[in-house]
Amino acid sequence: MNIFVAKLSRNTSSESLRELFEQYGEVSSAKVIMDRDTGFSKCFGFVEMDNDAEANDCINQLNETEFEGSTIVVKKARPRENSGGGGGYQNKRRF
């Protein structure tokens, strides 16, 4: 299960996020999302756990708790929505 974690402290690292969730079960990955331009944390991240029961326990136990000076929000991540944009210039002219 992919878990979304919001309202992280700017000082929270991917490693400390992993350590928090490992108290509840095996963590496949943990990543704090960083801003490409500034290099600073965007104050949210994702944790991946293979065992759904352990993941649900984490969500129930950790949501709205204090971690590294911030009250975090923990919930099941929603799948990315496809904006349909595609980005960039697209020449629609056909030859």
Q: What is the DSSP string of 18-79?
A: HHHHHTTS--SEEEEEE-TTT--EEEEEEEE-S-HHHHHHHHHHHTT-EETTEE-EEEEPPP
Looking at residue 11, what DSSP letter applies? T
Rounded Cα–Cα distance for residues 64 and 71 (Å): 6
Question: Are the beta carbons of 65 and 72 closer than 8 angstroms?
Answer: yes
Q: Where are the domains of the chain?
A: 2-76
pTM tops 0.85: no
CATH number attached to the domain at 2-76? 3.30.70.330
Instruction: Name residue 73's amino acid.
Output: V
pLDDT value of position 50: 97
pLDDT value of position 85: 55
pLDDT value of position 81: 72
pLDDT in tens, the chain (95 residues): 999 999 999 999 999 999 999 999 999 999 999 999 999 999 999 999 999 999 999 999 999 999 999 999 999 999 877 655 555 555 555 55
